[in-house]
Amino acid sequence: MATPLDILFLITARGGSKGLPGKNLKTVNGLSLLGYKAGAAQRCSACRRLILSTDNDDIAAEGRRLGVEIPFIRPTDLASDAATSDSVVAHAMDWIEKTENRAYDAVMLLEPASPFATADHLEEAIALYTEKDADLVVGLRQLDTYAALTGDFRADGSISEIVEKMHKTGGLRRQDLSPQVTMNGAFYLMNWSAFRKTGKIYSDPAGCYGLLMDHWHSIEIETPEDLALAEYAATTGLIDLTPWHETGVDQ
């Protein structure tokens, strides 16, 4: 039997957010977005250590209430709009390697803005990562609009670019086009060594894979409208909240 992966589960949640101030502590059906990510990680059988990277005292307090370890406070320069996920992950790795003199096999990066990834999704991602000997596995969602039907909107209102692309498809109907996907922000399971070599989440394209998730579990919250949609999905049963209730996380 193969040795289980030693995975660091890492939630990243900064205090600032222009589109939705205080986003990471916003609640959906009574549970904070941070709480959804913590609950999913804590229910995942591969989670041996879950830490939170934040610059914010209120987020840190919520993390502690949820039982998440906070070994350091993120520097303010890594909590600005200009900070990248790459730099935040690198900071956490640097801290662990220098302070604890250790490394992990992989990192499961979890961002509260995409709250509805379940423990089962995380388990599936780990299985895919292992099967493919991957450098990266991310959550995916299917696009509602095909690339052949999109383009830049010009200042004069012209849509010539879109029409030209449609002509190149040979008059195909929507149902004739292959489904297309993009990342949904639900999770990023990355190889520790591969990240250290490149400093990037997306390293060797050949080693990158995705797990397709349904529309509702792929909701990303960046605006008040997104939050309202998430609340609707949760309170109407479009999202089954049982996995989070089973974690015992206090709402």
CA angle 53, 219, 115 (to 5 degrees): 35
Spatial separation of the C-alpha atoms in residues 251 and 62, rounded to whole Å: 11
Q: List, in sequence order, every residue forming a beta bridge with 189; answer none if it has no partner.
A: 108, 137
Residue 29, sorted as left (phi over 0), alpha (psi -120 to 50) or beta, turns out to be left
Q: Where in the chain is the domain with CATH 3.90.550.10?
A: 7-142+180-245
User: Which has the closest alpha carbon to 140: 117, 119, 123?
Assistant: 117
**Residue that wins the pLDDT comparison between 111 and 1:** 111
- Please, is 172 exposed, middle or buried when counting C-beta atoms within 10 Å of its C-beta (0-12, 13-18, 19+)? middle
Amino acid in position 79: A
Share of the chain above pLDDT 90, in %: 71
Query: How does residue 170 score in pLDDT terms, banded at 50, 70 and 90?
Result: low
Spatial separation of the C-alpha atoms in residues 114 and 188, rounded to whole Å: 11
Spatial separation of the C-alpha atoms in residues 18 and 97, rounded to whole Å: 32
Fold topology of 7-142+180-245 = Spore Coat Polysaccharide Biosynthesis Protein SpsA; Chain A (3.90.550)
pLDDT at 198: 94
pLDDT at 82: 75
**Lowest mean pLDDT, pick from 2-11, 147-156, 165-174:** 165-174
